[in-house]
Amino acid sequence: MMKSRVLAIGVVLLTACGGGTSEPASTGTSTSGAEAATTQTSGTLTIAGEGLPRNYDGQVAADYADLIQLDVEQGRLVAYFGSGPTAFGLTLNLGTPFTVGELAVSTGSVVIELGESFEQRVDVQDGRLVVQAVDADTRTVRLHLEGHTFVEAGGLPEAIALDATVVAPARP
């Protein structure tokens, strides 16, 4: 009888947690059959190292909206998020097409720039990139990244977590 109660509570908790998520609205179907991301560019980045974690987030940086680059076939993405001291830029050079799924990344393929003028460069030394949705027609990609970084100035590796949705403007 006790096992049944615990199982029932677990199911209720999972249902309650799952039902309360705030997933972005879908705009269509991705090129690989998964749900596409929203039509709004936004990102959240957390770097945890010495001291408290540092958080960066926001919508696409207004001054940089026209600089968003997305090449689904080459696995290339450039986007800037937020403003002021919590702004960050993201550059991916995967050399392989964006497809829904998981991919190991190493030094050189992911670079993050931090701060108001994007002056601090952070290279992802190793990590796991999960492309959650990609839609070549709407030029949209949604991804999650976890891994470790090397700060350019020779700092110690730090843990990194990133969630981003990028919608690139249509090419003229």
b/e burial code for range 82-101 (CB count within 10 A of at least 16 → b): beeebbbbbbbebeeebebe
Distance, first Cα to last Cα, the chain:
66
Per-residue pLDDT of the chain (172 residues; tens, 9 = 90+): 444 433 333 333 222 333 333 333 333 334 444 444 456 889 999 988 766 688 888 888 777 888 899 999 999 999 999 888 888 999 999 999 999 999 999 888 999 998 888 888 888 989 999 999 999 999 999 999 999 987 655 566 789 999 999 999 887 6
- Report in angstroms the alpha-carbon separations of 34 from 31, 80, 104: 8, 25, 20
Cβ atoms within 10 Å, residue 145 = 22
- The secondary structure of 42-57 as a DSSP string is EEEEEEE-SSS-EEEE
The structure's pTM equals 0.73
